[in-house]
Amino acid sequence: MNSNQPGLFDDLPTSPDEIICGVDEAGRGPLAGPVFAAAVILDPMRPIDGLRDSKKLTEAKRDLLAPLIKAHALAWAIAEASEEEIDKLNILHASLLAMRRAVEALQVQPTLALIDGNRCPVMKIQAIAVVGGDDKVDAISAASILAKTARDAALVTLHAAYPQYCFDQHKGYGTALHLERLRQFGASPVHRRSFAPVRAALTAGPQPSIEE
Known binding-site residue numbers for a divalent metal cation: 24-25, 116
Residue 5 one-letter amino acid: Q
> Could you count the other beta carbons within 10 Å of the beta carbon of residue 17?
6
Distance, CA of 21 to chain centre: 15
Whole-angstrom Cα Rg for the chain: 18
Contact 164, 170 (CB under 8 A): no
How far apart CA 92 and CA 63 sit, in angstroms, is 26
> Which residues are annotated binding-site positions?
24-25, 116
Read off φ and ψ for residue 97, nearest 5 degrees. -65, -45
DSSP, collapsed to helix, strand or coil, labels residue 93 as helix
Residue 126: what are its φ and ψ, rounded to 5°? -65, 145
User: Is 16 within 8 Å of 8 (Cβ atoms)?
Assistant: no
Position 86, amino acid? I
